[in-house]
Amino acid sequence: MGYTKAEILKALKGEKVKFLRLQITDILGVVKNVEVPESQFEKALDGEIMFDGSSIEGFTRIEESDMLLKPDYNTFVILPDGVEDPARGRVARLICDVTYPDGRPFEGDPRYVLKRQIERLQKLGFDNMYAGPEPEFFLFLRTPEGLPTVETHDKAGYFDLAPIDKGEEARRDMVNALVAMGFEIEASHHEVAPGQHEIDFKYADALTTADNIPGELLQAPHPGVRGPHQHRLVRLQPLRHDPHPRQEGCGHPGRAPDARPLLQPLPGPGGHGRRRHRWH
């Protein structure tokens, strides 16, 4: 859904939002944010909030540190009360593009890089790229003192049910929170390793998918245990007005060139996790 500045300001006031997160990612897919209070909402929506780019992995040198956060109004979401404690003030979020102080896009911003690749795809004759993410994660026990451990909470495997699967209620809580934020969830289930789970999101265009599911991947909790993955079902959509039929994502004589070299999957940080792309 598209929003205007006026609509966002009205929603922030009507929902009594006190804090606004301006969110970006570094080159490893790690989510970063600057949070501003109510008094700075208009300034934030005008893209006038500055931050130190030299402090972000893969961004700029200290001599070029000043950068601006330009919010994409289409990414506006008010976080559900179950995600943030409303007693401290309700919180909303906007995902931002990163620019230089003169307004030029910052070349190292992952969001800008993706936008450029989508433009290259369109020059190859494709309308867009669509992806259906299937992120995986682990649930761990805490010590009696409340400290985290790497001991998984169950010994279940693929598609197991309770009482072997002890994560059903946690997954439902996560799905409820995601739905409240506007995500469309297709399924959730236990994965192959003990304590490992998966939530499947409905496919969307590449930029929306990247905004919804950042690419950070983590290592397996123990040696020999299958690590977390993020599967993405990828589909290239041909231009609707193109009279020549194509097979999405594949190169054939007389059809669009193979676009896969533009979209090679990258290993997760340190190689501990991985993404698996399935072409449709």
CB crowding 90-120: b at 16 or more within 10 Å, else e: bbbbbbbbbbeeeeebbebbbbeebeeebee
Amino acid identity at 12:
L
Confidence of residue 30 (pLDDT cuts 50, 70, 90): confident
Cβ atoms of 24 and 33 closer than 8 Å:
yes
pLDDT at 50: 93
**Per-residue model confidence as pLDDT tens digits over 47-72:** 999 988 777 765 655 555 788 999 99
Supply the DSSP symbol for 130: E
Of 31, 52, 54, 51, the C-alpha closest to 110 is 31
Using a 10 angstrom Cβ sphere, with 0-12 exposed, 13-18 middle and 19 or more buried, the burial of residue 224 is exposed
Average pLDDT over residues 93-114: 93
Q: Is the pLDDT of residue 172 over 70?
A: yes
**Per-residue model confidence as pLDDT tens digits over 204-253:** 999 999 998 876 555 666 666 665 556 666 677 666 555 444 444 433 33
Using a 10 angstrom Cβ sphere, with 0-12 exposed, 13-18 middle and 19 or more buried, the burial of residue 223 is exposed
Q: Is the pLDDT of residue 276 over 70?
A: no
* Complete domains list, the chain, with CATH: 5-108 (3.10.20.70), 126-279 (no CATH)
